[in-house]
Structure 1
Amino acid sequence: SYGFDANDLRQCLWSLSGVTNLEFNYEGTELTFENNLQWCPEFIDVVNLTLGQWCLDANFYALIVFLQNSPRLEKLTLNLAKCIADKSPRIVGELMERSFTCEHLKIVEVKCLEDDPQVISVEDFFASNGMASVQFDIKHWGQYKDELPAFIRYEER
């Protein structure tokens, strides 16, 4: 059987390193990066980045790695879980350095369920990293009926 491993993820991301808009959603099995492997390239031109719930696991490990490697980032969109039962896969590793500089980052858009407690964690994460001036735009999945799982969709009459 074929399995997607840490090296496959690394190759996939490195092939995208020249893009300006990146939407990356990881839905594979848990990946563990050891020895501080440089699995994420520098996205020198990325100005818009969209990531999923998975990037918040492991103490924001994957989110930090993407932020450290996106020096021109202006807008970050985080698509959190669409239903309570969502169990996101994880990308796990150790960081020698957890700090990042996103001097161009103006807005963090968070799409989430209403009353999702992770929104506060995300806001605290940016504030604790000296980015209190970032504007947060919180949107709830109910505003995106077509993006909800089929069993949650509803029709307005």
Structure 2
Amino acid sequence: MKDCITLDDNMAAPSLERLSMTWCELPEEHRNSISLPSLVHLELIECFGRLPVLESLPSLETGIVRLGENSGDQCFRSVRGCYTYSPCQDCHFAIDFAIARGRSYFFEGLSRATHLELSSPFEYALIFQRDLSWCPTFPMLKTLVLDDWCLDDDLSAVILFIQQSPNLEKLTLELFEVFDSLMVREGSYYHPWKGTFASDHLKMVEIKCEEFDERVKKVLKILSTFGISLEKIHIRLTDTSSGSECFHFVCTGFSHS
């Protein structure tokens, strides 16, 4: 489906195995729901409107979600959302919906996947952060690709994925947005992570970037703080304009002092 308008509140098909929606228009005033018990591959690429409720995707293996500037799930006051006594219309909608549902409505539907790619410009990823606050689990997840949106809040999103994915083997962080100091500010958005956790299952963390800047150093410092061995971290310096890899190294000699 490309450049389509979805009118149905509920998308259900018992035998559908692959669904790709690119630049499609989803509702703005409510969330439609997707229930596809045989779905193996799901793509939601820069759709307009609000992310759907993923109700039942028990057969899912691959999920690829890319948010863009047309996402209906964002706050125009702050990239962190407003939690005042008079929240903006979009935050009011999100808060009321979350309270009424009482659990994750998006990541819970992706929880059976073995491969996930979740990307968004930093300023449009509020919906990812909010839905992760329900601490969904990903027991089948083997490989995970995230980009710059996950850098906020002391890598809370990254740490949660590692902790809640006991079979995760490879994590890839693609950090190609123009550097902004907001991306590495202190303070967790939803979880005051402390201490270390079991991460023996994680075999590699791959960081793709154009230069070894402050955000990369921040990532290394936080991962090492949470017990991720620097020997597992591979950094690939890549020229995005040409697509060529300039340099690759394992971060054994890094010092974050």
Per the normalisation by structure 2, the TM-score is: 0.47
Deviation for aligned residue 1:17: 0.4
Residue in 2 that maps onto 1:13: 107
Secondary structure of the 2:112 match is: coil
* Matching residue within 97, 119, 125 for 1:25: 119
Counterpart amino acid of residue 30 in structure 1 = L
* Matching residue within 187, 200, 203 for 1:103: 200
Deviation for aligned residue 1:64: 1.5
CA contact 1:51–1:79 (8 Å) conserved in 2: yes
CA displacement 1:24-65 (0-9 Å, x = unmatched)? 1244353575xxx85231100101011111212111111111
Residue in 2 that maps onto 1:50: 145
Residue in 2 that maps onto 1:116: 213
Residue in 2 that maps onto 1:80: 175
Q: Determine the C-alpha separation between the residues in 2 that align with 1:62 and 1:85.
A: 18
Q: Identity of counterpart residues, as a percentage?
A: 31
Secondary structure of the 1:110 match is: strand
- Structure 1: gaps of 5 or more residues: 148-157
RMSD: 3.4
More contact order relative to length (CA 8 Å, sep ≥ 6): 1
Secondary structure of the 2:234 match is: strand
Deviation for aligned residue 1:87: 7.3
CA contact 2:113–2:140 (8 Å) conserved in 1: yes
CA displacement 1:116-146 (0-9 Å, x = unmatched)? 2222222222222222254222112306735
CA displacement 1:84-129 (0-9 Å, x = unmatched)? 36976xx921336564322211111001121222222222222222
- Structure 2: gaps of 5 or more residues: 1-27, 30-71, 74-93, 245-257
Per the normalisation by structure 1, the TM-score is: 0.72
Deviation for aligned residue 1:12: 1.4
Residue 71 (1) aligns with residue 166 (2): yes
Q: Determine the C-alpha separation between the residues in 2 that align with 1:22 and 1:61.
A: 17
CA contact 2:142–2:170 (8 Å) conserved in 1: yes
Counterpart amino acid of residue 108 in structure 1 = V
- Structure of larger gyration radius: 2
Secondary structure of the 2:151 match is: helix
Residue in 2 that maps onto 1:154: none
Residue 129 (1) aligns with residue 129 (2): no
Secondary structure of the 2:219 match is: helix
